[in-house]
């Protein structure tokens, strides 16, 4: 894959982050662009002009002019002093995504770095030398300073890195990969630190997960609806054309396709019940609204992936170096906070469907799907676990982006907290995955009680696959292995459903 400073998609980021064979190359026109940008920085230094970040201190110390003989030391001190993160390291995938995003920003040619800086970063990525980056310590303005400083440390042969399964000092990791430490020149340390690449990496991978989970929510919901003798009447295309939110229309169509041909549904088509509970009837409205939020966030993040987030920015067409605030993470933070609320909503409506499946007053099924209610508790605790996960997501859905605390001696007096939003979203997404795994477990345990009637051919393939992971239960058993088996295989379950739908429509 080539990086050129534009055109990077969420799918590209996921591929480089998660595919061990992915190789990143610098587009042929990029080095010349960087050389022109660097030439302007060198000209400014030769003329003795004072430019923020080039020959001044940083933040509150921007009024301090730095001697030409100390410019290299200035950049080195910046990287070292800003490496102040705490907590567990980012995952390998998150680190790789962050490295790719920072490289794409440098490729734009507005940061004033030499081509060798970008080349070194790409070389680390391809050699799978992964900086150890503590996940906490960024307030999201001036960008993700601390996480990016930990990344930059390894470029210069300091800090720590993971290489071939070992956690090593940065200099040793570089040596084993056949790389040499980079010596930073004027502005290059700052160019590596300013930006939103940590929040965008963590949030982007969480969003990619949520886009899949949104589709799985429809599948789980369709299975639950059929097990509960629900009707697809509420998914009629005319209803949703009358309120044409894109996600709502998409989900209604998806549910109709999934349920098409269900013998269970055909068996009660003329029953007197005309409306289902909201958790069933309103899936297009609720699931669809969440999808629309996720797609808004995807547009926001892909814009950010291809944006210049350094400060100051170098404009070679006019010969100017301008200070601004493109490092501020507000666009990303707000989008990720919205995703957390949407994901918590998907988990909440799924938990209500789980309750309906297990509550005999609502389901027309045995209590807790137990073969011997009373003697056996059945799947009673599955709903309890789902409720606990929902409660955690409710708390995590509180937006981080409204919680600014001033930093940098009040020079940075309103910050985004975008990294906090990203870390929260990662947890919310994993909780949602577990909730949907529980719903898939419960729904597919319920359907055998309706035999000889069966669900649609499409959903039957999903049910059959899940039963290879969690066969119909004959008695009480620990449910954790069943839930974990399903959660681990959620991507495969999605593939089964997609292939079944494609086969049915062929």
Query: Active-site residue numbers?
Result: 52
Nearest to 399 by CA among 455, 332, 460, 333: 333
Phi-psi region of 52 (alpha: psi -120 to 50; beta: other; left: phi over 0): beta
Specify burial of residue 261 (Cβ count, 10 A radius: 0-12, 13-18, 19+): middle
Contact 337, 401 (CB under 8 A): yes
Q: Which helix (H) or strand (E) holds 166?
A: strand 166-169
Tokens 């969480």 locate to 206
Give dist(CA 281, CA 258) in Å, integer: 15
Nearest to 383 by CA among 342, 442, 433, 343: 442
Nearest to 17 by CA among 91, 89, 93: 93
Q: How many CA atoms lie within 13 A of 117 on its CB side?
A: 30
β-pair partners for 56: 65
For residue 452, say if its preceding peptide bond is cis, omega within 30 degrees of 0.
Answer: yes
Q: How many CA atoms lie within 13 A of 402 on its CB side?
A: 5
Q: Which residues fall within 8 angstroms of residue 485, CB to CB, at 6 or more apart?
A: 469, 470
Q: How many CA atoms lie within 13 A of 154 on its CB side?
A: 34
Contact 75, 187 (CB under 8 A): yes
* Bridging pattern class, strands 25-26 and 2-3: parallel
Q: Which two tokens stand for residue 80?
A: 């070292």
Nearest to 202 by CA among 286, 85, 115, 53: 85
Nearest to 256 by CA among 505, 422, 493, 3: 505
Give dist(CA 461, CA 503) in Å, integer: 11
Give dist(CA 327, CA 140) in Å, integer: 8
For residue 432, say if its preceding peptide bond is cis, omega within 30 degrees of 0.
Answer: no
Instruction: Name the DSSP letter for residue 312.
Output: S
Q: Which residues fall within 8 angstroms of residue 87, CB to CB, at 6 or more apart?
A: 134, 135, 136, 137
Do you know the residue count of the chain?
A: 506
Give dist(CA 322, CA 317) in Å, integer: 13
Give dist(CA 242, CA 358) in Å, integer: 34
């Amino acid at each position: 894959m080539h990086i050129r400073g534009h055109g990077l998609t969420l799918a590209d980021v996921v591929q480089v982050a998660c595919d061990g064979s992915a190789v990143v190359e610098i587009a042929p026109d990029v080095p010349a662009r960087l050389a022109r940008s660097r030439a302007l920085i060198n000209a400014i230094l030769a003329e003795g002009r004072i430019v923020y970040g080039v020959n001044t201190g940083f933040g509150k110390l921007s009024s301090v002019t730095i001697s030409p003989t100390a410019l290299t030391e200035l950049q080195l001190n910046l990287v070292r002093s800003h490496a102040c993160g705490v907590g567990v390291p980012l995952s390998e995938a998150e680190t790789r995504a962050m490295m790719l995003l920072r490289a794409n920003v440098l490729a734009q040619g507005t940061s004033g770095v030499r081509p060798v800086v970008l080349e070194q970063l790409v070389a680390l990525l391809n050699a799978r030398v992964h900086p150890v980056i503590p996940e906490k310590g960024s307030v999201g303005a001036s960008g993700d300073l601390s996480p990016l400083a930990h990344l930059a440390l390894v470029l210069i042969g300091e800090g720590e890195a993971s290489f071939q399964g070992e956690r090593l000092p940065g200099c040793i990791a570089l040596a084993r990969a056949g790389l040499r430490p980079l010596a930073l020149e004027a502005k290059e340390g700052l160019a590596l630190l300013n930006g939103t690449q940590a929040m965008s990496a963590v949030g982007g991978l969480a969003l990619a997960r949520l886009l899949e989970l949104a589709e799985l929510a429809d599948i789980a919901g369709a299975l639950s609806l059929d097990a509960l003798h629900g009707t697809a009447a509420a998914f009629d295309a005319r209803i949703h054309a009358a309120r044409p939110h894109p996600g709502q229309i998409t989900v209604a169509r998806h549910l109709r396709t999934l349920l098409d041909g269900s013998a269970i549904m055909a068996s009660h088509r003329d029953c007197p019940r005309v409306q289902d509970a909201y958790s069933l009837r309103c899936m297009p409205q609720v699931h669809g609204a969440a999808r629309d939020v996720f797609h808004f966030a995807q547009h926001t993040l892909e814009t950010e992936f291809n944006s210049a987030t350094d400060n100051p920015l170098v404009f070679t067409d006019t010969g100017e170096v301008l200070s601004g605030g493109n490092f501020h993470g507000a666009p990303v933070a707000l989008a990720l906070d919205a995703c957390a609320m949407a994901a918590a909503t998907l988990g909440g409506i799924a938990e209500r469907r789980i309750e309906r499946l297990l509550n005999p007053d609502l389901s027309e099924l045995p209590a807790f799907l137990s073969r011997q209610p009373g003697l056996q508790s059945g799947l009673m605790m599955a709903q309890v676990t789902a409720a606990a996960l929902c409660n955690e997501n409710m708390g995590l859905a509180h937006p981080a982006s409204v919680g600014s605390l001033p930093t940098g001696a009040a020079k940075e007096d309103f910050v985004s907290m975008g990294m906090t939003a990203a870390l929260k979203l990662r947890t919310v997404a994993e909780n949602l995955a577990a909730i949907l795994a529980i719903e898939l477990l419960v729904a597919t345990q319920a359907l055998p009680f309706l035999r000889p009637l069966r669900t649609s051919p499409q959903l039957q393939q999903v049910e059959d696959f899940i039963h290879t992971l969690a066969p119909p239960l004959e008695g009480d058993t620990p449910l954790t292995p069943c839930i974990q088996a399903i959660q681990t295989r959620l991507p495969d379950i999605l593939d089964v459903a997609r292939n079944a739908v494609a086969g049915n429509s062929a």
